[in-house]
């Protein structure tokens, strides 16, 4: 009989692979794609939308503590009707979904290319300088240390 059956949190440790789904959520009436550029805390993010406006994105209640939003994540946001500078984050895309959205021309490549430029600029800024240090001339050749004197 195996020793690791049952107990508290037994099924939570199960590693399952999510199957690839062909139905990806796309924009509807007031929804817009955006990129998270700053994490403000308490479920609030600064989102740069595809229309060029930076909005305060608030994660919806259903996604709270269930889905994690990181820097440079691509999200689907619903713009508020009564406040144009705020939006609700209603979906977070993973890397496989982003590739599919790029192929179908749903999101502009500028959202993704900005991330690549940041990394490329960082790599170009690094300069490695090496210097040859000449060996020191030791003065121990003139004097010999006798261990018995110490």
Instruction: Show the 3-state SS of 30-91.
Output: CEEEEEEEEEEECCEEEEEECCCCEEEEEECCCCCCCCCCCCCCEEEEEECCCCCCEEEEEE
Domain harbouring 114, CATH code: 2.40.50.140
29: which DSSP letter? S
- Asked if residue 104 is part of any domain, the answer here is yes
- Asked if residue 86 is part of any domain, the answer here is yes
What is the tens place of the pLDDT at every residue in 39-80? 999 999 999 999 999 999 999 999 998 888 999 999 999 999
- Asked if residue 150 is part of any domain, the answer here is no
For residues 91 and 33, give the distance between their C-alpha atoms in angstroms, rounded to a whole number: 10
Domain extent for 37: 27-119
What pTM was computed for the model? 0.63
Q: How many domains does the chain have?
A: 1
Assign 118 a pLDDT band (cuts: 50, 70, 90). very low
- Asked if residue 78 is part of any domain, the answer here is yes
């Amino acid at each position: 009989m195996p020793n690791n059956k049952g107990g508290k949190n037994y099924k939570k440790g199960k590693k399952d692979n999510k199957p690839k789904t062909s139905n990806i959520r796309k924009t509807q009436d007031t929804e817009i794609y955006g990129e998270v550029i700053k994490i403000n805390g308490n479920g609030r993010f600064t989102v740069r939308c595809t229309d060029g406006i930076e909005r305060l994105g608030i994660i919806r209640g259903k996604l709270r503590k269930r889905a994690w939003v990181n820097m440079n994540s691509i999200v689907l946001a619903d713009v508020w009707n009564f406040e144009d500078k705020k939006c609700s984050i209603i979906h977070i895309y993973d890397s496989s979904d982003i590739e599919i959205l790029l192929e179908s021309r749903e999101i502009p490549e500028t959202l993704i290319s900005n991330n690549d430029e940041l990394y490329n600029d960082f790599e170009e800024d690094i300069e490695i300088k090496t210097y040859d240090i000449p060996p020191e001339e030791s003065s121990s050749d003139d004097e010999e240390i006798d261990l018995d004197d110490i």
